[in-house]
């Protein structure tokens, strides 16, 4: 996603203010060192971060500006020419949302696809991760490595066999094919991340619960679950963004009536590309939900990037 500018400047600022808070407790030499460091590196770092952020955002801004331009302008000149001759219209959004493309109704499809495709893998992965982390059984490590290794299977090579299996099982053409496919593709990473998160919980906590007579079910729901909420949230965001933005799985497994927003956007350009000026507006319509999710849950997202990644 190029939609969201990186949060570098904000985090750099936070670092700087932390440095300042710490200053009071330090010796004079250290204080001087920090001051020097602050004078030298911080403006450069912030400046660089800001430049990167701007460069990173320019294409997105270009897309946004383009999406409001009249069709002929989009096709004949670059978005930057808008500044000398500003002309804006909402026609593209009107066409995209309520015209023949009617993206508004595909929103529902995308939501219907995304929610189960997030809930199913997380539910299964939680149970699997618990087993891998806290139940001792023979071949556990080998099995865990096997599950972990599944991540290297590229989803492209699974498309045809998977579709053939769905056809044999006679569930082709339903939402199940999309839900199951997303779940299958998500599980290896989900199990790995949640397992690592669960492993980080001190074993004394689990043992104490066992001493008190708690079984696996009780430990799972009453001891681990409350501690796991941030991990679940961060993975849920990952999976949500992945499924929402997915084109390949939707294209291959969804039928005409269950296709998600991304597939509809891909078809916006028309049979011979004669309506490609609608693509930018379509892209922004499909971006709204991930943007809201990202901004609202940014905290978990950044934490999730670090979760479980250091400990194997």
Partner 1 sequence: MTRSILSPKRRALAAVAGGASLALALTACGGSGGSDETSGSSGEASSIDCAPYEEFGDIDGTTVHVYTSIVDPEGATMQTSFEPFTECTGVEVDYEASREFEAQLLVRVKAGNAPDIAFLPQPGLLQTIVRDTGTIVPAPDAVSKNVDEFFEPTWKEYGTVDGVFYAAPMDANVKSYVWYSPTAFADAGYEVPETWDDLMALSAQYSEDNDGAIPWCAGVESGDATGWPGTDWVEDMMLRTGGPDVYDQWYKHEIPFNDPQVVAAFDAAGEVLKDPAMVNAGLGGVDSIATTPWTDAGFGLLDGTCFLHRAANFYQTQFPEGTDVSEDGEVYAFYLPTNQTDIKPVEVGGTFAAAFNDRPEVQAFQTYISSADWANAKAKATPNGGWVNANLQLDPENLATEFDRLSASILTDENAIVRFDASDLMPGAVGAGTFWTGIVNWLTGSSTQEVVDQIEASWPAS
Q: Is-contact 127 192, C-beta < 8 A?
A: no
Diameter over CA atoms, the chain: 75
Is residue 105 a contact residue for partner 1 (CB under 8 A)? yes
Cα–Cα distance, 269 to 263 (Å, whole number): 11
CB 46 within 8 A of CB 266: no
When asked if residue 200 is in the footprint of partner 1 (CB under 8 A), the reply is: no
Does residue number 85 form part of the binding site for partner 1 (CB under 8 A)? no
Q: Give the shortest CB-1-to-partner 1 separation in angstroms.
A: 21
Of the residues 15, 102, 207, 212, which one makes contact with partner 1 according to CB under 8 A = 102
Those residues whose C-beta lies under 8 Å from the C-beta of residue 47, and which sit 6 or more positions away, are none
Query: How many Å from the N-terminal Cα to the C-terminal Cα in the chain?
Result: 28
Taking residues 25 to 64 in sequence order and writing x for each that binds partner 1 by CB under 8 A, - otherwise, the string is ----------------------------------------
Residue 204 touching partner 1 (CB under 8 A): no
291 counts as binding partner 1 under rule CB under 8 A: no
Q: Using CB under 8 A, count the residues that bind partner 1.
A: 47
User: Going residue by residue from 138 to 177, which x/- string records binding to partner 1, judged by CB under 8 A?
Assistant: ---------------------xxx-xx-xxx-xxxxxxx-
3-state secondary structure of 1: coil
282 phi/psi in degrees, rounded to 5: -60, -40
Minimum distance between the CB of residue 294 and partner 1, rounded to whole angstroms? Answer: 23
Minimum separation from the CB atom of position 266 to partner 1 (A): 6
Q: What phi-psi label fits residue 69: left (phi over 0), alpha (psi between -120 and 50 degrees) or beta?
A: beta
Q: Work out whether 87 is an interface residue with partner 1 (CB under 8 A).
A: no
Asked if 201 interacts with partner 1 (CB under 8 A), we say no
- The answer to the question of residue 256 lying near partner 1 (CB under 8 A) is yes
CA dist 178 and 22 (Å) reads: 51
The yes or no reply on residue 286 touching partner 1 (CB under 8 A) is no
Give whichever of 17 and 105 is closer to partner 1, judged by the CB atom.
Answer: 105
The secondary structure of 226-240, three-state, reads HHHHHHHHHHHHHHH
Find the part of the chain contacting partner 1 (CB under 8 A) among 22-30, 181-189, 224-232, 262-270: 262-270
251 touches partner 1 by CB under 8 A = yes
Measuring CA to CA, how many Å separate 94 from each of 68, 265, 274? Answer: 11, 14, 17
Give the shortest CB-244-to-partner 1 separation in angstroms.
15
| Spatial separation of the C-alpha atoms in residues 122 and 78, rounded to whole Å | 44
| One-character DSSP codes across 236-278 | HHHHHHHHHH--HHHHHH--GGG--HHHHHHTTT-TTSTTGGG
Stretch that binds partner 1, among 128-136, 236-244, 250-258, 304-312 (CB under 8 A): 250-258
Q: Is 115 in the site for partner 1 (CB under 8 A)?
A: yes
When asked if residue 244 is in the footprint of partner 1 (CB under 8 A), the reply is: no
Please pick, from the candidates 101, 122, 194, 297, the single residue that binds partner 1 as defined by CB under 8 A. Answer: 101
- Angle, helices 298-306 vs 279-296, to 10°: value is 80
Binding residues for partner 1, per CB under 8 A?
71-72, 75-76, 100-102, 104-106, 108-109, 111-112, 115-116, 159-161, 163-164, 166-168, 170-176, 251-252, 255-258, 263, 266-267, 269-274, 276
């Amino acid at each position: 996603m190029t939609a969201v500018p990186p949060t570098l400047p904000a985090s750099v600022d936070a670092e700087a203010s932390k440095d300042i808070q710490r200053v009071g407790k330090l010796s004079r030499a250290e204080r001087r060192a920090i001051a020097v460091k602050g004078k030298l590196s911080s403006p450069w770092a912030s400046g660089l971060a800001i430049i990167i952020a701007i460069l990173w955002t320019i294409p997105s801004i270009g897309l946004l500006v383009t999406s409001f331009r009249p069709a002929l302008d989009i096709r004949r000149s670059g978005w930057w020419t808008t500044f000398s001759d500003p002309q804006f219209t909402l026609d593209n959004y009107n066409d995209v949302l309520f015209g023949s493309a009617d993206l508004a109704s595909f929103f529902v499809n995308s939501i219907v696809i995304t929610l189960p495709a997030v809930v199913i893998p997380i539910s299964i992965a939680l149970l699997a991760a618990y087993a891998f982390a806290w139940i001792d059984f023979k071949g556990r490590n080998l099995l865990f490595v096997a599950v972990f290794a599944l991540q290297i299977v590229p989803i492209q090579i699974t498309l045809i066999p998977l579709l053939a299996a769905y056809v044999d099982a006679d569930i082709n053409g339903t939402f199940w094919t999309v839900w199951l496919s997303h779940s299958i593709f998500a599980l290896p990473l989900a199990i790995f991340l949640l397992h690592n998160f669960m492993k980080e919980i001190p074993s004394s906590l689990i043992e104490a619960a066992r001493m008190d007579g708690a079984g696996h079910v009780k430990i799972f729901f009453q001891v681990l679950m409350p501690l796991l909420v941030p991990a679940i949230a961060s993975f849920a965001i990952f999976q949500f963004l992945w499924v929402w933005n997915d084109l390949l799985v939707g294209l291959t497994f969804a039928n005409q009536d269950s296709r998600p927003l991304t597939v509809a956007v891909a078809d916006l350009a028309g049979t011979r590309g004669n309506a490609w000026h609608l693509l930018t507006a379509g892209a922004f319509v499909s971006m709204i939900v991930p943007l809201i999710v990202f901004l609202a849950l940014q905290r978990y997202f950044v934490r999730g990037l670090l979760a479980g990644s250091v400990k194997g």
